[in-house]
Amino acid sequence: CLHALCSTLTFVFLSTGPTVSGSLVKGRVGQNITVPCFYTVKRIQDITSMCWGRDRCPVSKCYRTIIWTDGWKVTERYNSRYMLKGNLPMGDVSLTIMSAEEADSGMYCCRVEIAGWFNDQTSNHEVVIEKARISTASPHTYTSEQTS
């Protein structure tokens, strides 16, 4: 195999692979957190199924799946706190986590199933949920001293 030809073949293989992108989403405990994910819908035939899962996107489907849609409606949901509130048929498959908890922190995978080999659109999203800051009536702490 000629070196230039091998490089060209490698480039072609890599450039036809899945589209991978991602984001960092931060929020506080108790908030509703939206993790963005979109795909392009130009005609009705473009509407497709997709899943959200925990951890990075695997080779196919979603690992530790939390929600599925057929492109029109949610078909499977593993926890009532996970919702798809966007316009699904327009390609808005953003995930909303209701009343976020610290345990919701971590990596999430959005996989949109596009017909053909290795065409799926995948994105990995890091979610960081922090405790709400505790506010007190007074910034001072008083202690009583005991005397003998």
Measured from the Cβ of residue 98, the count of other Cβ atoms closer than 10 Å reads 15
pLDDT tens for residues 71-122? 999 999 999 999 999 999 999 999 999 999 999 999 999 999 998 888 999 9
Domain ranges of the chain: 23-130
Note the pLDDT tens digit of each residue in 84-95.
999 999 999 999
pTM: 0.75
d(CA 10, CA 130): 42
CATH of domain 23-130: 2.60.40.10
- The rounded distance, in Å, linking the Cα atoms of 113 and 122 is 9
Do residues 92 and 38 make contact, with C-beta atoms less than 8 angstroms apart?
Answer: yes
Q: What tokens does 135 get?
A: 């506010």
